[in-house]
Amino acid sequence: MYTMPPLPYDFKALEPFISEQQLTIHYQKHHQAYVNGANAILEKLDKARKEGIDLDMKATLKELSWNVGGHMMHSFFWANLAPKGKGGGAPTGKIADLIKGEFGSYERFKKEFTQTAASVEGSGWAALCLCLKTGRPLIMQVEKHNVNVYPSFPILMVVDVFEHAYYLDYKNDRAKFIEAFWNLVNWEAINARIPR
Ligand code: MN
């Protein structure tokens, strides 16, 4: 069974960048729906196996990965945001070195990551992950939770660019939401995700 991770701050903590109403609906309705959906598919699989019923594996697994992916990505997202005044600004610690080494500067990284998030087709995410073979951080687009993903590369930072993440606050202006996101980045949490 999957369960909701507790939010590490209250629903007002991300204002004015993400409103109380937007965060409440996003967390309580949208994220919860992925958790419920994932658990429902697991129950369906358990039942089918017990009773010897055949399932449409393609459809079932697509639905499972959609929901598990949604749950995991939202869990990453909440934890890589920091309450107002505690997030944003230039990166510090290990992630600062990784960004400087790969992108040359924080400004260049911010530009590439912003362009990545802005150009996700339809619903999806922009994510920064780390290749453990080369030690190089890579940016990826995660469309609908489950494509264009580098398998087993640990995710360091994500931003949700599904419309449900920003519509109440920014209407259809995704670019404005991404700009606001930079004020909330929790570099400390991101540093803690870098494998030793
Ligand atoms: Mn979302």
Residue ranges and CATH numbers for the domains of the chain are 20-79 (1.10.287.990), 93-193 (3.55.40.20)
- Centre of ligand 1 from the C-alpha of residue 107, in Å: 26
Return the structure tokens found at 196.
Answer: 């030793």
- Centre of ligand 1 from the C-alpha of residue 190, in Å: 19
The pLDDT value given to residue 184: 97
Residue 70: which region, alpha, beta or left (left: phi > 0; alpha: psi -120 to 50)? Answer: alpha
pLDDT band of residue 149 (cuts 50, 70, 90) is confident
The pLDDT value given to residue 23: 98
- Centre of ligand 1 from the C-alpha of residue 31, in Å: 6
pLDDT one-digit tens code per residue, 118-138 = 999 888 999 999 999 999 999
Residue entry with tokens 């929790």:
186
- Centre of ligand 1 from the C-alpha of residue 51, in Å: 35
The pLDDT value given to residue 144: 84
Q: How far is CA 164 from CA 17, 32, 160, 170, in A?
A: 15, 13, 9, 10
- Centre of ligand 1 from the C-alpha of residue 133, in Å: 30
CB atoms within 10 A of CB 64: 18
pLDDT one-digit tens code per residue, 83-99 = 988 999 999 999 999 99
pLDDT one-digit tens code per residue, 158-196 = 999 999 999 999 999 999 999 999 999 999 999 999 998
State the pTM of this model: 0.92
- Centre of ligand 1 from the C-alpha of residue 164, in Å: 6
- Centre of ligand 1 from the C-alpha of residue 34, in Å: 9
pLDDT one-digit tens code per residue, 37-73 = 999 999 999 999 999 999 999 999 999 999 999 999 9
pLDDT of 111 higher than 80: yes
- Centre of ligand 1 from the C-alpha of residue 64, in Å: 16
Q: What's the whole-number average pLDDT of the chain?
A: 95
- Centre of ligand 1 from the C-alpha of residue 186, in Å: 18
